[in-house]
Structure 1
Amino acid sequence: MTRLVLAEFADPETLVAAARRARQAGLRGLDAHTPFAMEELPEALGFGSTGIRLVMLASGIAGAAFAFWLQWWTAVLDYPVNAGGRPLFSWQVFVMPTFEGGILLATFGGILAFLLTSGLPRLNHPVFDAHGFDRASQDRFFLAIEDPRADGARVAALLDGLAPLSIREVAA
């Protein structure tokens, strides 16, 4: 069973320092909730590359290849039409649909990869039921630690000196 410990801070610098400490202590399942985006927070939490770019590249190449193959197959094999003595395989007219097919599948692949890597759609999380968590969109900064080894006392000892406003365990 995993435990969910929520630490509340008054300023963003303390949250980043707490995230670094928790990561250095070997705690996993770190997440932060802030009223605005912070550039240094993903690095402090240990977020790495998600691989979405590679998925988009692969699906874009596959989409372009499929669009080009479909046009070639239709124009050369399935329904060849000799229009004005032009060759059946005139690749120049295949460029725009090939580009559009690549963009379309890259977009779909990126959206699907994003949803899978981020765990969406998750409509409810236990942290949303924590007392005072609604202030995460106003003026508070929260560090959520979802780790079986984390408990309130260990996290309080770990964050000693950072003066968190509160540290509480949330029923997961």
Structure 2
Amino acid sequence: MDKLTNETVIEKLKSQFGDGITHISEPKGLLTVETHKDHIIEVLRSIKEDDSMQFIYLTDITAVHHPEREKPYAVVYHVHSLVHNVRIRIKVFLEKENPTIASATVLWNGANWMERETYDFFGIIFEGHPDLRRILNMDELGVFPMRKEYPLEDPNRVDKKDFYFGR
């Protein structure tokens, strides 16, 4: 069996999805691929079921909020090929209004809890999820705490004033 490299994975994805793969990078050697939300299940299924890649272990699903971007929410999938000991990160950027994406539970049962956590903290809606509800926060919490919508500190705190520090 030939060693699986990032270049091999890139070639396979480009040949199969073409313009469906929008950006490729390798920060610190970790292959990172961006795709559209319409293609995410096809891309995940492809890397999982391809006998030459075998990315069968879904390590994590999370999100990142970039409020300065046009599409501020990035859903990030970390997948590992245990056979080849190669990892890949797949990102999908979602619009601010109605951030929805297809659920990966059709491929991995373990995606259930990861998607619930991502929903709970970022408000990303995973269409087709069997039980999308809060998992760690209170049900009556009206916000999604990991969104960068609020200041990090209370501006009314008096113990953070410069004159207390001789400035």
Instruction: Please tell me the TM-score bracket, short chain as reference.
Output: under 0.3
More strand by share: 2
Q: Which has the larger radius of gyration?
A: 1
Q: Looking at both structures, which has the greater relative contact order when contacts are Cα pairs under 8 Å and sequence separation is at least 6?
A: 1
More helix by share: 1
- TM-score, normalised on structure 1? 0.22
- TM-score, normalised on structure 2? 0.23
